[in-house]
Structure 1
Amino acid sequence: MTTQNLLVELFVEELPPKALKKLGDAFAGVLFEELKLRGLTSDNSVLTSFASPRRLAAHITNVRERGADKEVVEKLMPLAIAIKDGKPTEAFRKRLAKEGRGHLADLWPNAVDGSDSLLVQNDGKTDAVYMRGLAVGGSLQVGLEAALAESIAKLPIPKVMSYQLETDCELPGWSSVNFVRPAHGLVALHGSTVVPVKALGLTAGNSTRGHRFEAKSEVVVLKDADSYASALLNEGAVIASFAERKAEIARQLAAAAAKVGGGARPIEDDALLDEVTALVERPNVLVCQFEQEFLGVPQECLILTMKANQKYFPLLDAAGKLTNKFLVVSNISPTDASAVIGGNERVVRPRLADAKFFFDQDRKKTLESRVEGLGKVVYHNKLGTQGERVERVRAIAKAIAQQLGDTKLVATADTAARLAKTDLLTDMVGEFPELQGIMGGYYARHDGLGEEVANAIEDHYKPRFAGDELPRNTTGLVVALADKLETLVGMFGIGNLPTGDKDPFALRRHALGVIRILVERDLEVSLFGLIGAAFAAFPKGLIGQANTDLLIFMLDRFAGLLREEGFTPQEVDAVMALNPVRLNLVPRQLAAVRAFAALPEAAALAAANKRISNILKKAQEVDAHVSEVLLKETAEKNLYAALKNVVPQANAQFEAGDYTASLKTLAALRAPVDAFFDDVMVNAEELDLRLNRQGLLKSLHDAMNRVADLSRLAT
């Protein structure tokens, strides 16, 4: 069967820019899969998706005019009901008639007619009669219309619109359509042939529209499916491919920055680049500037207002400092761009002036003077005000600082914790919530609080996301831990737990933040102790006790993080089975387990550990005590002697933190352990012998599983 390439385009009003890439990928992807399910694509068919502000499209190579025929086997009914005394029953005849195959009953038991036949197969419980037939492949028009309907229905639309279309039937009227934006055109070309499918009240044709202002003609006629991208570019002044348009913007941004000189470079922000790509059809990057005086405002404020409000790309110098120049991605390319440049410069000026005003006004009040105001800001209806929350964070920070440092650290951590939330009451953070913490750092420096406290205030939200940097100093680490633990304990204490993909209080992120700080900064503190200190900071009766639940939650998050970092599930399970309280030691334990697993003795010792664990579970309470007088068999005497020789050395290495050496030392026990299980009956009839041998195994088990539960490595 001959194949040709297929092009489908849905032409609409401007789509939501933050969702465009996802909408384009979903539209093309679902359409391709639906055509594939209907047998209309080939094994070597290739999908290309297109998405611009006003269109979603897909190009698929090697699409059939008609779907491939498929053999279909359908269960009809149990054999005992279908056939009585070797003849079809009345119920069976009615079922066949319903399927349009009534004549097959008269041919039983040799019921074969062309591609149709009856056969008996066991369905796993009983013999049943099945009908085998040939399903003729559907036409491209029917299959494409169904696939298009599925593709539209499955679009991840952020918000649906309702709009009216005039009906094209004899009776005048209007029909209601629900879609992300009003749709005005539909293209479906199989080669050069129009496939007259319908969707959203539209009938497919072979024409679309180009750029609103710069297209050579209002209507772009497509001669075939393969000319889509080139026709839109040449006749419609539109780069239809999202990826190509994004690459072109990136190229122009780099070229414009190079022309500015001085090592200038546009700020890197892939989300902003995606959003701007979704706003323009044919990009034209222009260089603009603002007054130097605005550079006295913290660059984070200026960058945020230019990016968030105007979708501009600020230019940084070679040292990473903001310059007074920025790049605009225009959707038009006039011969004289001065009007476009001037317009954008006029638009950004009031935004920057607002930021300067907020900054100047905020510095008229100290952070200390704002502390009292936190008592009037509700944090959570069950957990009180921000002022009450700050007092809890201070108490937790004090407990942590006392473990990690001296009175100076306690004092600086307390100051930072007391002032960390005060920038929530500033005008700048009120306008730009994303700057909380950052502005607190600037205002702390202005108040003369010093870099230690200022950096801690700025950093106490870190890490904000996966891969984010950690606080720069110990004071910042203390306050960041205290802030995250207060949130975790408070929410667990009132039962606000993450469910499925819903985590409105970002508890998973807070948990990973605590874990990263403890591990990456190698802090010698107990996680369970930290959780206990955090619960103690809450007044009695305000929250429930959920210490264990929170500990399990955090260890689960840690295990998931370790698996993402490349450790095997067996390695992670072996270490996490011990419920480690010092998370900073876990990476060394994992490295030791990996080194141990590579030893030739590892598999046998892991299997032996699993066997020992099972024996001890059945024996229940076993004392790790061995009486040499009761050692009868040579194998148990040898094992006991090996333990006395090897374990002290392994324990010394463990206490010194050399976990790899400790496990390698214990590997010498393989031979006596194997001999013990070959030659010794553990559960001897004599009670004293049985208890002594169980005690020997308990001593072995305790010695071997200090670094990890080695039984988890057994296959």
Structure 2
Amino acid sequence: MSAQDTKNLLVELVCEELPPKALKKLGEAFSATLVASLHGAGLVGANAVVKSFASPRRLGVHVEGVAAKAADRALQQKLMPAAVAFDKEGNASPALLKKLASLGFGPEAVPSLKRQPDGKAESLFVDQVVPGATLAEGLQKAIDETLAKLPIPKVMSYQLADGWSDVKFVRPAHRLVALHGADVVPVGALGLSADRVTQGHRFEAKSATITIRDADSHAAQLRDEGSVIAGFAERRAEIVRQLAEAAAKQGLAPIQDDALLDEVCGLVERPNVLTCQFEQDFLAVPQECLILTMKANQKYFPLLDAAGRLTNKFLVVSNIRPEDASAVIQGNERVVRPRLADAKFFFDQDRRKSLAERVPGLDKVVYHGKLGSQGARVTRVREIARAIAAELGDTGLVDQADMAARLAKADLVTDMVGEFPELQGIMGGYYARHDGLGDIVADAIEDHYKPRFAGDALPRNRAGLVVALADKLETLVGLFGIGQVPTGDKDPFALRRHALGVIRMLVEAALPLDLDTLLALAVPAFGELITDPRAAVSTFVVERLAGSLREQGYSAHEVDAVLALGVQRLADIPRRLEAVRAFAALPEAAALAAANKRIANILKKSTDPVEAKADPALFAEDAERALWQDVGTVRRSADVLFEAGDYTSSLKALAALRTPVDKFFDDVMVNAEDPKVRANRLGLLATLHGVMNRVADLSRLSA
């Protein structure tokens, strides 16, 4: 399409206030789906410049270079097999004539039909020119597809103006704008017909409606006449700028929260950041409580000092800009005060009862229908935590972990956590300190849910690591043990996250614990409640580990080579991977990996069991004698390095075997006729195979 045939296109749907948490996704989906449909119809190029709009009351898109009509397309249409198309005399059959008529062709088209091979037989084809869609046709189809595919969180049903018809959409829609340059495109949606009239800010627009001159003037007219920043990204950037500016005036910093920013951006069309404050007395309440109530309930941005401590000042993103903002500021300060007072009341009330006194209350809190109450769960977590601490060989740790595990869930029956479930663990830490339990136990209680998400910190001390491990293992073993296994995208108990948490703690904290040992410690805590799920849980954890390692940049070959050995000490795996990567860079690596694969295949084909030993007296060839001697030399040095944990040097020591291995396969027939000689040579290869595969299965590196 030539430049003179195209104009810029604007499509906008004006609605009642859209759900703020969903607005960003709705805006992105609206523009992406609509433009993709226009591209499929040939009305716009693949590289067209697209600008998406999404504000509380509108979804829209501006697309550059949209054609008024798509180019005609040549299309070859298959008709039917040639054997069916003609009778014995070679005349067109009634079936052929009927098919041609359905496509708009008469009998005169028969001579121009093409015969082409189609599988085993010939078929007839006709060349057609399909007229390109007009913009009105293509845009109507695009709008219909877009509205049908929008990721609407919850659909509303509402009546149209006629009082009879009803429509289903995320919110009632009031206007549809569709402009190709300055021309209205005759399309409709949700009972609306497109025109050029839109609406601005509810309170601050210069007039009730705005007549858009052309597609390119839309954003500027909305801003100047309607007091609306229509673009989500532009509005968000303006909020960020104003937050930083207002905070800097106080010498403070606003809390960083992308989800809150997106939600607030979905609430305002003309952001105006104002600084407010509350009474200093409220700062005696844990800052996590105050921050959460301000963010979750009021959508405010708390301000922090240079040390990251909460101050009594906060920022509000208002949707109006009065000349005197004092009433807006005072209103927000008045609204937040009862919320903070509630948090203070909960905190004061909760501290009247110790965590230990709350533990019996967990027997009344249901955990799972098949696994009992939270109280029963705590008993299992304690048993597992004590067993893990004992496995680590620290008697003091056993007592610390047991106390932390006993009290870790007690804050679930406090008023604060009842109001703010997100604070579970955090409040337990505060109440433990108030009870005089000391930092080790308090930190362990607070941290036992960690790591809660990718990139989250690990528990700060060993007691916390032990209780966190016990808690996650109890969840994994218990739920797998009753058949609650994740399937596809469904993982209601976040078992994948729990598995990744176990992996991270074992690896990053370098805990000297084997996975199979941990699972063996966890299963007895359930008694007869479950069927032993150790094999399934182990496989599940290793699969999560493999995926995590690939995401960290290790190749599939490297990961497979290490995990193929069934390594149970997960803390060793990063060093093994680095060793494999260093080995793979050696000039001898490819040949040794190929030889290792060949050896594995030879041993696999043996009908008799093969022991990793050989008798030098039965060697008949110099090459096998030399290999046996070199294997012994390399094994001694490689084993010393392996036991010292120097996996890289241990693997590199294998490079000395390349020449004797190549010589062996060139000069020696493994499957000798003499069964003793054959068994001896297989024993030599089994010994070599064991020496080569202590760090990783090197055959997995062979392409």
1:174 is the counterpart of 2:198 = no
Aligned residue among 87, 92, 111 for 1:88: 92
Unaligned 5+ runs, structure 1: 112-117, 168-172
Deviation at 1:406, TM superposition (A): 1.8
Q: For 1:201-280, what aligned pairs fall within 5 Å after superposition?
A: 201-261=191-251, 264-280=252-268
Question: Hey, what's the Cα distance between the residues in 2 that align with 1:467 and 1:420?
Answer: 23
Q: Which residue matches 2:555?
A: 568
Deviation at 1:217, TM superposition (A): 1.2
1:162 is the counterpart of 2:152 = no
Deviation at 1:677, TM superposition (A): 1.8
Q: Residue type of the partner of 1:149?
A: D
Larger deviation, residues 94-103 vs 414-423? 94-103
C-alpha distance after superposition, 1:342-400 (max 9, x if no partner): 00001000000000000000000000111111112111110011111001000100011
Question: Hey, what's the Cα distance between the residues in 1 that align with 2:77 and 2:556?
Answer: 42
Question: Hey, what's the Cα distance between the residues in 2 that align with 1:271 and 1:405?
Answer: 44
Aligned residue among 125, 128, 153 for 2:123: 128
Q: Which residue matches 1:29?
A: 32
Q: Which residue matches 1:47?
A: 50
Deviation at 1:708, TM superposition (A): 0.8
3-state DSSP of counterpart to 1:246? helix
Deviation at 1:469, TM superposition (A): 0.3
Deviation at 1:630, TM superposition (A): 2.0
Contact 1:573 1:712 in 2 (8 A): yes
Question: Hey, what's the Cα distance between the residues in 2 that align with 1:225 and 1:72?
Answer: 34
3-state DSSP of counterpart to 1:684? coil
RMSD: 1.2
Q: Which residue matches 1:115?
A: none
Q: Which residue matches 2:297?
A: 309
Deviation at 1:681, TM superposition (A): 1.9
1:12 is the counterpart of 2:2 = no
Q: Which residue matches 1:475?
A: 463
1:103 is the counterpart of 2:98 = no
Q: Which residue matches 2:343?
A: 355
Deviation at 1:84, TM superposition (A): 4.6
Deviation at 1:87, TM superposition (A): 4.1
Deviation at 1:174, TM superposition (A): 1.9
Question: Hey, what's the Cα distance between the residues in 1 that align with 2:244 and 2:478?
Answer: 47
Q: Which residue matches 1:114?
A: none
Deviation at 1:674, TM superposition (A): 1.5
Deviation at 1:405, TM superposition (A): 4.0
C-alpha distance after superposition, 1:297-339 (max 9, x if no partner): 0000000000000000000011111000000000000000000
Question: Hey, what's the Cα distance between the residues in 2 that align with 1:200 and 1:567?
Answer: 51
C-alpha distance after superposition, 1:130-183 (max 9, x if no partner): 22212110100000000010001000000000001134xxxxx52110100000
Q: For 1:597-616, what aligned pairs fall within 5 Å after superposition?
A: 597-616=584-603
3-state DSSP of counterpart to 2:165? strand
Unaligned 5+ runs, structure 2: none
Q: TM-score, normalised by structure 2?
A: 0.98
Q: Residue type of the partner of 1:47?
A: V
Deviation at 1:50, TM superposition (A): 0.7
1:300 is the counterpart of 2:300 = no
Q: Residue type of the partner of 1:472?
A: R
Deviation at 1:214, TM superposition (A): 0.4
3-state DSSP of counterpart to 2:308? coil
Contact 1:75 1:128 in 2 (8 A): yes
Aligned residue among 378, 381, 404 for 1:393: 381
Q: Which residue matches 1:73?
A: 76
3-state DSSP of counterpart to 2:168? strand
Q: Which residue matches 2:275?
A: 287
3-state DSSP of counterpart to 2:289? helix
Q: Which residue matches 2:63?
A: 60
Deviation at 1:641, TM superposition (A): 1.8
Q: Which residue matches 2:368?
A: 380
Contact 1:44 1:62 in 2 (8 A): no
Aligned residue among 642, 651, 674 for 1:686: 674
Contact 2:450 2:459 in 1 (8 A): yes
Contact 1:297 1:355 in 2 (8 A): yes
3-state DSSP of counterpart to 1:76? strand
Q: Residue type of the partner of 2:237?
A: A
3-state DSSP of counterpart to 1:62? strand
Question: Hey, what's the Cα distance between the residues in 2 that align with 1:706 and 1:52?
Answer: 60
Q: Residue type of the partner of 1:209?
A: Q
Deviation at 1:449, TM superposition (A): 0.3
Question: Hey, what's the Cα distance between the residues in 2 that align with 1:366 and 1:36?
Answer: 65
Q: Which residue matches 2:605?
A: 618
Contact 1:379 1:389 in 2 (8 A): yes
Q: Residue type of the partner of 2:94?
A: E
1:198 is the counterpart of 2:188 = yes
Deviation at 1:104, TM superposition (A): 4.9
Question: Hey, what's the Cα distance between the residues in 1 that align with 2:120 and 2:473?
Answer: 56
Deviation at 1:416, TM superposition (A): 0.2
Q: TM-score, normalised by structure 1?
A: 0.96
Deviation at 1:43, TM superposition (A): 4.3
Q: Residue type of the partner of 2:49?
A: V
Contact 2:39 2:46 in 1 (8 A): no
C-alpha distance after superposition, 1:172-217 (max 9, x if no partner): x521101000000000001111001011111111110000000111
Q: Which residue matches 2:485?
A: 497
3-state DSSP of counterpart to 2:452? coil
Question: Hey, what's the Cα distance between the residues in 2 that align with 1:381 and 1:44?
Answer: 55
Q: Which residue matches 1:714?
A: 702
C-alpha distance after superposition, 1:41-92 (max 9, x if no partner): 0244111111000000011110011112222222222233224554433322
Larger deviation, residues 402-411 vs 147-156? 402-411
Deviation at 1:126, TM superposition (A): 3.3
Q: Which residue matches 2:538?
A: 551
Q: Which residue matches 2:332?
A: 344
Aligned residue among 359, 378, 389 for 1:371: 359
Aligned residue among 637, 652, 662 for 1:649: 637
Q: Which residue matches 2:659?
A: 671
Contact 1:93 1:105 in 2 (8 A): no
Q: Which residue matches 2:406?
A: 418
Change beyond 3 A, Cα 1:240–1:638: same
3-state DSSP of counterpart to 1:467? coil
Question: Hey, what's the Cα distance between the residues in 1 that align with 2:281 and 2:237?
Answer: 34
Question: Hey, what's the Cα distance between the residues in 2 that align with 1:80 and 1:609?
Answer: 59
State the aligned residue count.
698
3-state DSSP of counterpart to 1:294? helix
Q: Percent identity?
A: 66
Larger deviation, residues 96-105 vs 59-68? 96-105
Question: Hey, what's the Cα distance between the residues in 2 that align with 1:543 and 1:129?
Answer: 65
C-alpha distance after superposition, 1:107-145 (max 9, x if no partner): 1xxx1xxxxxx3233334433222221211010000000
